[in-house]
Amino acid sequence: MDQRRSDMREIAGLCGECARALIRPTRKGTTYLRCGLAATDPRFPRYPRLPVIACNGFTPLLAENSP
């Protein structure tokens, strides 16, 4: 897991551990999180209000050390 994802886990709730989350740094040194499902499903906000504590689209990241 990269550092951005690891940092995001702390503040983003479910989004921080979701395979649908797109985490991108900005030129100004901040990081934003966008929901990848929003592009195809209007039920999901492009920029969810964090932390997300419940979400029907939540897709767990694969276990870090899975074979």
Q: Extract the tokens encoding 7.
A: 């940092």
Contact status: 58 vs ligand SF4 (CB under 6 A): yes
Q: What is the C-alpha to C-alpha distance for residues 47 and 66, in angstroms, rounded to an integer?
A: 29
The answer for residues whose C-beta is within 8 angstroms of residue 7's C-beta and 6 or more apart is 31
Quick note: the x/- pattern for ligand SF4 over 5-44, rule CB under 6 A, is: ---------xx--x-xx-------------x-x------x
Binding residues vs ligand SF4 (CB under 6 A): 14-15, 18, 20-21, 35, 37, 44, 48, 52, 55, 57-58
